[in-house]
Copies of this chain bind each other. A is one copy, B any other.
Amino acid sequence: MNVLDRFYKGDKIALSKLISYVENQSTGYRKLLAQIYPKAGRAYRVGMTGPPGAGKSTIVDKLTSLLTKEKKRVGIIAVDPTSPFTGGALLGDRIRMQDLTTRDGVFIRSMATRGSYGGLATSTKEVCLVLDAFGKDWILIETVGVGQVELDVVNACDTTIVVFVPESGDSIQAMKAGLMEIADIFVVNKSDREGAKRVISELDMILDIRRKKGEWECPIVSTEALNNKGIDLLLAKIFEHKKFISENGVLEQHRKNQIKGDLKRIIELKVKELLDEKILNSFDIDQIAERVYKGEDDPYSAGERVLNKVNLGK
């Protein structure tokens, strides 16, 4: 029996293999994705981002417990676009989360930066697709907050949660607008600590400004994830949001937009490969570079000239 058959039968090792295959972009991985694509589209994706140390892993852990109690099959992706300077910092969380893997129906995958940031967001989407096709009902994506990648990653989810801690108070005002706008649910974790009220009221103020009639009203949920407090309410809010976007057509539109995004990404990637193959590694480019170096040409004009001669079709 080949890997794909075992994958369809629910074999976890086959799942692991296919994920690695996709993550490493091994030969023919796109063909594989094309094959399993029709099986996907049922999983509900929840994205979670927030500053390091906000307790995201713990929240994911507790949410997963609740979901598995309801017999849901959960996939977890931990995305870690970590600085080369803090490479090892998050390892603890990952190890702790491994407890979950022993539970039925739960699968965890950590993904770290490889090559480029853009690549990480893309890989994450593709791993999502594999988990989805495998039959996961829920995919929880956790990512540490360091910038554009997690915006890209969590933005591709159906429900996006931004987690704060009471200590975030000072930085909320300074935070990038983009981050506030993508949140469907705010969580203030470790809410027993000093400053929790202030953070909540600041978030409330921000929400007041963006509130629009008929649109989803982003709730603020207080949690103490370590003590399992507020997690049931958080899950209830996730279900509420799921219901809201399912009923008013937002989810359908969101999915279609994602498909369009996938399509664009796939086409762009393919074009990049064709470019590499047809032009960028050619002798011409060496010659142009030589002329530019001598001051006889400039790359902007040369680029235009090269492109005017290209036909990417077969």
Contacts and interface: CB of A to CB of B under 8 A. Distances in A.
A253 B174 CA distance: 43
A151 B84 contact: yes
Interface string A285-314: 110111011010011111110111111111
Interface stretch (A4-12, A29-37, A184-192, A222-230): A29-37
Contact of A85 (B171, B280, B290): B171
Which of A257, A303, A311 has the largest number of chain B CB atoms within 10 A?
A303
Report how many copies the assembly holds. 2
A263 interface: yes
B174 A259 contact: no
Which of A31, A38, A289, A308 has the largest number of chain B CB atoms within 10 A?
A289
Interface string A256-277: 1101101110111011101100
Nearest to A301: B34
A255 B290 CA distance: 10
Contact of A314 (B88, B113, B308): B308
Contacts of A2: none
B292 A259 contact: yes
Interface of A: 30-31, 33-34, 37-38, 41, 50-51, 81-88, 113, 115-118, 145-149, 151, 168, 171, 174-176, 178-179, 252, 255-257, 259-260, 262-264, 266-268, 270-272, 274-275, 279-280, 285-286, 288-290, 292-293, 295, 298-304, 306-314
